[in-house]
Amino acid sequence: MGVICEIVHKKLGFPGIPVSEGAEQKLLVLTWDEFVNDVLQLARKLDEARFDALAAVARGGLVVARLLSDMLGVRKIASLAIEYYERVGKRLASPRLVGGLNFDIGGMRVLVVDDVADTGETLKLAVEYVKKAGAREAASCTVYIKPWCKFKPDYYAKVVEGWVVFPYEQFETALHLLSEGWSFEELAARGLSKAVLEHLKERGGRPSF
């Protein structure tokens, strides 16, 4: 699954990865095909369940929710915004809700959707909010969970260790690693998109178009 690389003698500072000098860490770079296949695996586990709406946790949950909407035939997608990371590698003391649901879910069976559960704190807050918003039932799912996750979703596809790089966040990840001293060649060797890296290289390490 993905490009799994041993990262040696580099301090990534990514959330969810214990970092120490000289420690070996894993970076899991997913392709779109791998990611969609894993979402499909999640959808199969949800096949017997019935939901009226999906509640996507922005930002990563929006991508997963759109795919699940297509796979499960659930057309209603609500969204809520929760902040837990100020930037890549910098986590807040606790997650905070910064944007509520965009339509009334009162009396509905709602599935809260996110891409990965690391500590599980974001997912826990989202489920609590959905229940308070009047959902008749509230379940949760993520594509991936970490082994140390404290609040586990009701449904998930895979347990993974290390830092997951989703295909929709390669710019953000590449910029962070470049700021940490990585070279474009090192990032390419670890599976990041060459097209993304070429774009950043042409703009001196900036994402703007």
> What DSSP string runs through 159-170?
E--SEEE-GGGH
What total of structural domains would you count in the chain? 1
**What value does the CA radius of gyration of the chain take, rounded to a whole number of Å?**
18
76 lies in a domain?
Answer: yes
177 lies in a domain?
Answer: no
pTM above 0.85, yes or no: no
Confidence of residue 207 (pLDDT cuts 50, 70, 90): low
SS3 content of the chain, % helix, strand, coil (to 5): 30, 30, 35
145 lies in a domain?
Answer: yes
92 lies in a domain?
Answer: yes
User: Quick one: pLDDT at residue 93?
Assistant: 62
Count of H-run helices and E-run strands, the chain: 6, 9
Closest CA to 110 of 84, 80, 88: 80
Question: 67: domain CATH number?
Answer: 3.40.50.2020
CA distance 107 to 159: 32
pLDDT of residue 16 exceeding 70 = no
Domain ranges, residue 112: 48-158
93 lies in a domain?
Answer: yes
User: Quick one: pLDDT at residue 91?
Assistant: 58
User: Quick one: pLDDT at residue 134?
Assistant: 97
CA distance 140 to 114: 8
Poorest-pLDDT segment among 18-22, 65-69, 84-88, 195-199: 18-22
3-state secondary structure at position 195? helix
Poorest-pLDDT segment among 5-14, 58-67, 112-121, 188-197: 5-14
58 lies in a domain?
Answer: yes
